[in-house]
Copies of this chain bind each other. A is one copy, B any other.
């Protein structure tokens, strides 16, 4: 402890320190893998199961790293009585001797000498969150969502969220290694990207503002300073869509590059998907095993196939779809196309200008279409991400603003200003983190890939 300046005249009671030892020193995994038998050990955790066999009570004590069997016999009557009636999910400290069982499973157990109740479990949550339940069972969904704060303790749900953490880290790492700067764009914005309707609105100091639908406008300004940037953060869309790949609040991976064209964007994204898939399969295999899934390796083979939007429409019509030019591909259309392409993601290129936002470049070879592409996941998981080459010439931007009924809307004046101040060809891509997780882990619904989901039409609770 540094000495206090002598000019200080009062006594500092607050400077006295307590013990230095952390409260919890060892985890289940430490006892299972790194502790010798015969040692006196203690473990903080939760009572996962309690079984009684005549004169012995078995308590499985778990923490975030694993489960350790703990055995209480009748030697200490009081301890035995406590063990007999301890509730599932009670938080405890158990202390005792780590002992070989002589059996393969479990190879070690704690012969318990002391149990301390740390936190009681007085309510009943059914099914028990730490039990081996089918987390995707439709009959369980209401309970699993209503009590999400407890079901985070489920091993499979926790494994999905650990994978989310792993994937997020790999994505950050990829951007870092490829020279991108992370730019934290604001959530509160006066400038909706698509339309005011699907943007979530609020009043701030009497001003109408929105929660960001997409940070594209901010990134295209910043890319003129940094050239390669990205942002991972929450994004909000009140789209009336109850599909398996829509959330009202989701985490959006956005990147923007200066001096690129459409082909540069395609190449960048293909490399991104390939590299991140490879690393996340490597790091996520064990978690996938816990979840009971296999990781999707379809992103490893690049380049991905491409199909023109027009051709996709024609082909889908021939298959009996009601798809037509100027509509967005529906989930069924994407699945139909996907089943034809086999296990590869594929690009749908040249989305019509009528359904794309105004900043995207019109294809001079076919002015009905934009220089955009959507990447559709393999195996029917639907749209993963979109890329767009952005307009850098003012007259073209103004034409598109007019077309979208936004001419004269002063909220876009700063977007126009960019095109008057050394604006360069630039482009971006955007992907919902949850869609990426869903595809890689082959999980049916995005709601299971985020800790607490918010969906259109569902009460936010909690």
B-binding residues in A (CB < 8 A): 1-2, 4-5, 7-20, 22-24, 27, 44, 46-47, 63-64, 89-91, 118-123, 125, 149-150, 152-154, 157-158, 161-162, 164-165, 168-169, 172, 176, 181-191, 200-202, 204-205, 207, 209, 211, 217-218, 221-222, 224-228, 233-234, 236, 238, 248-249, 251, 258-264, 267, 301, 303, 305-311, 314-315, 318, 340-342, 344, 347-350, 392-393, 411, 414, 417-425, 450-452, 454, 457, 459-462
On whether A186 and B309 interact (CB within 8 A), knowing A152-B225, A226-B158, A460-B209, the answer reads: no
Nearest opposing residue in chain B for A63, CB measure: B227
On whether A22 and B305 interact (CB within 8 A), knowing A14-B311, A181-B165, A311-B10, the answer reads: no
Distance to closest chain B CB from A59 (angstroms): 13
Contact B149 A161 (CB under 8 A): no
Nearest opposing residue in chain B for A130, CB measure: B225
**Chain B neighbourhood of A9, CB < 8 A:** 315, 318
On whether A341 and B23 interact (CB within 8 A), knowing A123-B420, A306-B14, A452-B185, the answer reads: no
Nearest opposing residue in chain B for A393, CB measure: B119
**Chain B neighbourhood of A8, CB < 8 A:** 315, 340
On whether A188 and B460 interact (CB within 8 A), knowing A182-B168, A311-B12, A451-B222, the answer reads: yes
> How far does the alpha carbon of A5 sit from the alpha carbon of B459 in the complex, in Å?
45
**Chain B neighbourhood of A422, CB < 8 A:** 46-47, 89-91, 119-121
Distance to closest chain B CB from A6 (angstroms): 11
Across chains A and B, which 4 residue pairs bring their CB atoms closest together, nearest first? A14-B308, A24-B259, A202-B202, A149-B221
Contact B218 A305 (CB under 8 A): no
Distance to closest chain B CB from A441 (angstroms): 16
Contact B347 A14 (CB under 8 A): yes
Contact B152 A224 (CB under 8 A): yes
Other A-B contacts than A46-B422, A118-B259, A168-B184, 17 sampled, CB-CB below 8 A, are: A2-B301, A10-B315, A13-B311, A23-B261, A24-B258, A24-B259, A91-B423, A119-B392, A122-B421, A149-B417, A168-B182, A184-B450, A188-B248, A189-B462, A204-B248, A205-B459, A217-B462
Contact A461 B190 (CB under 8 A): yes
> How far does the alpha carbon of A164 sit from the alpha carbon of B225 in the complex, in Å?
15
